[in-house]
């Protein structure tokens, strides 16, 4: 027994997490690895997504795919390899991506006639295919999404947040008019925002990227930005209005109703496995993950508590019946009936993994025909309550809704508390050290670059929803007339 207890203590030490206040970056890596979301691979900058982490990605896929199909999009797949000449066709695009390209020069033991780029994004190859498929206005709009991997040669990598290879979805659409393409660009941004807030409980700010920060080759880029637990920003998803840039580069043309040949208007938009990192950093605490119920692989874990063989038999019978009831009600439930671990160790384990609701069943609960529910978002005695077994399903499903709402509310309050509107550059410098700074800005790329050099804060976006600037408003840094308010922050 003593040997088993010592082994359990050793396992607990192995799973210890660095406090966020001590070293936030190490806390993040500890949580990702200890909760078994991902691990480092032998290939520099790449990661292995472990089953628990991939289950979160699968739930993200389901939630987004449903939304994509409801808005008329279809899934397809395009090649991983792209002829280098395709990338070169759109000048701004190649300039923006050149430093990150992985290029294949040999295959089958021979030098290739033309180098192939490993897909960094698919506008080029999809543009080529659209030029073959689109002939008439009757072929439009084309609304396609693909789920795939991409490769961008990152110099500094971090699990989920920035890796050489990552998973994502990328939507690519073609339209007959500018108005339709711009409406699509905004519609998909709204889809991402709805997903982030409703499914992931991550509050986001919708905005337009500056010229300096926009996607290479886009007319403009829209983004959703979220505040992480250390008050830095993370770009959670983007939607790009490409205008006719790629259509002209790849000759994507159609014969319109007036019998004239015209170029299409195109868009692209994407969200990646980086969003798993956002969930970790927005909701996590010193105990580990706190997963939003709608995306959690396990929504409720059942932990039986007993000492004797007689108690074990009685408790496990009720625990198994509880599992059956919850699964029958559509709850993703799991019974942790492992014999080699104590209930206390299991509590710690499932808190680390962020399971929203814990169901405790002991001999007294069996006798009193009740169960004890503990919610991960609150913790302690405040987050625990006993409910009759007869109300099991109702109580658990309601509690899952409460946890989902609670996580969103906590994250929103945190962001609002750490968002500032500085009156001058001195206040601005202090603000970006403590969170987000929403400030009047002149729109100059040079001014934007100087702000980044002096404060390490970048222009995250120009919020789409903002109050009109006062008359004679001045840029927070240079004092020139301000065009709009921009959101600045340190960022991943």
Does 156 score more than 90 pLDDT? no
Rounded CA gap, 296 and 22, in Å? 27
Mean pLDDT over residues 275-288, rounded? 98
Whole-Å CA distances, 183 to 222, 263, 401, 421 = 12, 18, 32, 31
Long-range CB contacts (within 8 A, 24+) of 52-56 = 52/297, 52/353, 53/276, 55/297, 56/276, 56/279, 56/291, 56/295, 56/296, 56/297
Rounded CA gap, 267 and 191, in Å? 15
What pTM did the predictor assign?
A: 0.94
- Closest among 29, 10, 12, 11 to 20, alpha carbons compared: 29
Rounded CA gap, 160 and 182, in Å? 30
Question: Hey, what domains does the chain have and what are their CATH numbers?
Answer: 24-283 (3.30.930.10), 300-400 (3.40.50.800), 419-489 (3.30.110.30)
Mean pLDDT over residues 106-117, rounded? 96
Helix axis angle, 343-352 relative to 2-14, nearest 10°?
10
Does 14 score more than 80 pLDDT? no
pLDDT, position 12: 58
pLDDT, position 89: 82
Does 437 score more than 90 pLDDT? yes
The partner residues of 385 in beta bridges, in order of sequence, read 373
Rounded CA gap, 290 and 287, in Å? 9
- Closest among 414, 393, 372 to 231, alpha carbons compared: 414
Instruction: Classify residue 308 as exposed, middle or buried by CB count within 10 Å of its CB (0-12, 13-18, 19+).
Output: exposed
Report the length, in residues, of the chain: 492
Mean pLDDT over residues 364-373, rounded? 97
Mean pLDDT of the chain: 95
pLDDT, position 88: 85
Residues 404-429 have pLDDT tens digits of 999 999 999 999 999 999 999 999 99
Cis peptide before 141 (omega within 30 of 0): yes
DSSP string, 224-258: EEEE-TTS-EEEEEEEEEEETHHHHHHT-EEE-TT
Contact call for residues 333 and 300 (beta carbons, < 8 A): yes
Those residues whose C-beta lies under 8 Å from the C-beta of residue 234, and which sit 6 or more positions away, are 161, 225, 226, 227, 228, 274, 277, 278, 281, 491, 492
Residues 204-260 have pLDDT tens digits of 999 999 999 999 999 999 999 999 999 999 999 999 999 999 999 999 999 999 999
Contact call for residues 169 and 271 (beta carbons, < 8 A): yes
pLDDT, position 1: 52
């Amino acid at each position: 027994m003593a040997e088993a207890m010592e082994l359990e203590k050793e396992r607990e030490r192995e799973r210890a997490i660095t406090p966020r206040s001590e070293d936030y970056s190490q806390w993040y890596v500890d949580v990702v690895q200890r909760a078994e979301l991902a691990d480092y691979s032998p290939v520099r900058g790449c990661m292995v997504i472990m089953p628990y982490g991939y289950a979160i990605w699968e739930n993200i896929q389901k939630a987004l795919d449903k939304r994509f199909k409801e808005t008329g999009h279809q899934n397809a797949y395009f090649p991983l390899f792209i002829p280098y000449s395709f990338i070169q066709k759109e000048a701004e695009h190649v300039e923006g991506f050149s430093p990150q390209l992985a290029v294949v020069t040999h295959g089958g033991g021979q030098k290739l006639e033309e180098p192939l780029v490993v897909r960094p994004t698919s506008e080029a190859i999809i543009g080529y295919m659209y030029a073959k498929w689109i002939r008439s206005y009757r072929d439009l709009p084309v609304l396609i999404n693909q789920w795939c991997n991409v490769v961008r040669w990152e110099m500094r990598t971090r699990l989920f947040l920035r890796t050489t290879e990552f998973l994502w979805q990328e939507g690519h659409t073609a339209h007959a008019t500018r108005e339709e393409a711009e409406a699509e660009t905004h519609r998909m941004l709204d889809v991402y925002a709805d997903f982030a807030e409703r499914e992931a409980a991550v509050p986001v700010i919708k905005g337009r990227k500056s010229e300096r920060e926009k996607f290479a080759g886009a007319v403009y880029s829209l983004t959703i930005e979220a505040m992480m637990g250390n008050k830095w920003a993370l770009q959670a998803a983007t939607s790009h209005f490409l205008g006719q840039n790629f259509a002209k580069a790849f000759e994507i043309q159609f014969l319109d109703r007036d019998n004239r040949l015209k170029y299409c208007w195109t868009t692209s938009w994407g969200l990646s496995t980086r969003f798993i990192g956002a969930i970790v950093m927005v909701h996590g605490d010193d105990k580990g993950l706190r997963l939003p119920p709608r995306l959690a692989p396990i929504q409720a874990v059942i932990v039986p508590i007993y000492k004797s063989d007689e108690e074990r038999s009685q408790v496990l019978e009720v625990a198994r019946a509880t599992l059956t009831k919850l699964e029958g009600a559509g709850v993703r439930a799991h019974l942790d009936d492992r014999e080699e671990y104590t209930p206390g160790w299991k509590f710690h384990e499932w808190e680390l993994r962020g399971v929203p609701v814990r169901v405790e069943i002991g001999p007294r609960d069996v006798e009193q025909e009740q169960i004890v529910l503990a919610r991960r978002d609150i913790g302690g005695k405040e987050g625990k309550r006993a409910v009759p077994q007869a109300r099991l399903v109702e109580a658990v499903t309601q509690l899952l809704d409460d946890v989902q709402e609670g996580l969103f509310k906590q994250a929103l309050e945190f962001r609002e508390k750490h968002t500032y509107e500085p009156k001058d550059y001195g206040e601005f410098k202090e603000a970006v050290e403590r969170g987000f700074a929403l400030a009047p800005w002149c729109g100059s790329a040079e001014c934007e670059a100087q702000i980044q050099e002096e404060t390490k804060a970048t222009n995250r976006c120009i919020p789409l929803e903002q109050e009109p600037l006062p008359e004679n408003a001045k840029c927070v840094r240079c004092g020139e007339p301000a065009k709009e308010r921009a959101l600045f922050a340190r960022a991943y």
